[in-house]
Structure 1
Amino acid sequence: MKIWSLVTAAVLTAGLTIVPAAAETIRLAVTDVEGMEQLQREYGGFVEELEKATGLDVEFTPVNNRTAAVEAMRAEQVDFVLTGPAEYVVFAKLTDAKPVVGWHRPDYFAQVVVMAEGDIKSVADLKGKKVAFGEIGSTSQQLGPAQVLADSGLKYNADYTAEIIKRNVAVEAMIRGDVQAVGMNFGHLKSVREKFPGQKFAVVGRGPDLPNDILIAASYVKPETVEAVRKAFLEKGDVLMAGVLKGEDTQKYNGGYFVATVNDADYNSVRAMYATIGAPEFSKFLGE
């Protein structure tokens, strides 16, 4: 104790300040959000809680698209990426990224939607017709709906004509009769019903729940850092989700939860969807 007192006195006498070690910084990207402003708006609340839970500094890394996110990870410019199921299988193919935690979205499944008072009453009725998919490469707007049709015996863009059309434009085309069905998820159908209140829509095909969105870590991130992040989701999941839900687009996670045990094999169903639409190598992002 006397030695410590002498050392302390010496430090104080010399006017020196003991500076605590700086917190480790991790860099985070989100593949479906462009620009720093939107990242801050949608995920700022989450990052604030993640920093408290881990003791790490979290820095946003904006990316223009999914390919840019892959290139950033290859160049060791980003450490963690939040992405969707279809994107994950491409990341797994092109990088050594590892799953960290799943982000469960409630009622996240693909559907094939038609006009309720039209001629289409079943998936079989779509043979020889036109089906619109809202976004190329989207798990719930293209891959999932195409798999729903395939599971009912309709081969992609062979037994019917597949068209890529923005969702609301596609719905307008369906109302006019220019296309006979639109692929979308449950949340999309809810918003479509709100946007077109005078129209009646029906679901002729529904797939199983889709795999979770997923937070992945680059291979060069220290194992103890990855574990610290995973532990935060395990122990502070409710607090982190409350931070996530401070955003607007992030409301898709409302009612969801985090899954700390997530494996690459959980996404084999998505790989099968790629094969269904004729892209079995899943070595690039469709449409980019």
Structure 2
Amino acid sequence: MTLVPRLKPLLAAVGLSLLTLSASAQQLAPLKFGVGLFQPDKERNDATYRPLAQHLAAALGRPVELRTVDSWEGLAKSLANGETDIGLLGPWGYVLAHQSAKAQVVSTILYDGKPEYFAIMVTHPESGINNVADLKGRTFAFGDKGSTSGYLIPLHFFMSQGIDPDKYFSKLLYTKHQAIETQVVAGQLDAGADYNRNRNAMIEQGLIKAERSKIIWQSAPLPNDAVAVSEALFKDKAFVGKLQTALEAVGPLLKTQANLLPAHYTGFVNSDNAFYKPIRDAGLATGKLAPK
């Protein structure tokens, strides 16, 4: 009987130790880092962004699991439903994730030192197409419906011109950016929507020939891809600050660790939700985003 009172402090200490261990395990739980399909295939995409994931793991003192999500819409949903903690995703994907689950942007990626890029429409030299008016009755491809430059922005432009894509084109497709460029230069498609960064990269990598890809339309500048975190993580201001510091460090580190980002990407700059207002406005104007 006398052992029971003596055991109580010991059991309490053991219980406290277990709680401490449990808390430590939670702190060290891997962060799920979702990245959109910026490269032609998943394997290349994983290899391209693995150094960045490793950098974040070292800077944050926590394991980081990299996963490529093959559609912008899918990545937005994964950030919304908790399958992804941190996402590198297109502007429209970010706006969708913010709208549906209050995901929050913390940084914007820089391309040749700038936080902006352009949506474009491309054709091939023999198409006879020189402008949007020439597209009537031709075949055209959008990117997936979670894409900013491949879908939202060109759709917004068409609607501003009184064009209904379902009626304007003889055939309308939805596919991936790389497939659009490949099929256009091969003459399998008359034209399609893309973005300047992807076209430049495919030309530099020898995947398409510049002389086979002709730009017939370009948008106003658009905010670059966002690094966003889940609503739960955004509430942890210390974590957000640490993540932003880790991302800001990437630019200087590129001088000695060039593989941290693909060619032409030069780092990250701190950002907030207001920077993505042009994308939100386009979503509202096209009816693809419901007003709150």
TM-score using structure 2 length: 0.68
Higher relative contact order (CA 8 A, sep 6+): 1
Contact in 2 for aligned 1:145/1:184 (Cα 8 Å):
no
Match of 1:267 in 2: 276
Match of 2:228 in 1: 216
SS in 2 for 1:220: helix
Amino acid across the alignment from 1:29: F
Q: Percent identity?
A: 20
Counterpart selection for 1:251 from 256, 262, 267 = 262
Match of 1:3 in 2: none
Cα shift at 1:267: 1.9
Q: CA RMSD in A?
A: 4.0
Cα shift at 1:87: 0.9
TM-score using structure 1 length: 0.69
Distance 1:224 1:167 in 2: 37
Q: Residues 174, 276 of structure 1: CA spacing in aligned structure 2 closer, same or farther, 3 A cutoff?
A: farther
Match of 2:109 in 1: 103
Match of 1:15 in 2: none
Match of 1:286 in 2: none
Amino acid across the alignment from 1:59: V
Deviations 1:45-69 (A, max 9, x none): 2233334444x21321636566665
The runs of 5 or more residues in structure 2 that have no matched partner are 1-22
Match of 2:138 in 1: 129
Match of 2:6 in 1: none
Distance 2:163 2:220 in 1: 17
Match of 1:28 in 2: 32
Amino acid across the alignment from 2:289: P
More helix by share: 2
Amino acid across the alignment from 2:244: R
SS in 2 for 1:135: coil
Cα shift at 1:256: 2.9
Cα shift at 1:110: 1.2
Match of 2:4 in 1: none
Q: How many residues align?
A: 257
The runs of 5 or more residues in structure 1 that have no matched partner are 1-20, 284-288
Greater shift, 220-229 or 195-204, is seen at 195-204
Cα shift at 1:163: 2.4
User: Which runs of structure 2 are paired with 1:62-211 in the superposition (5 Å)?
Assistant: 62=67, 73=79, 76=82, 78-106=84-112, 108-150=117-159, 154-161=163-170, 162-166=172-176, 170=180, 174=184, 179-190=189-200, 191=202, 194-197=206-209, 200-211=212-223
SS in 1 for 2:231: coil
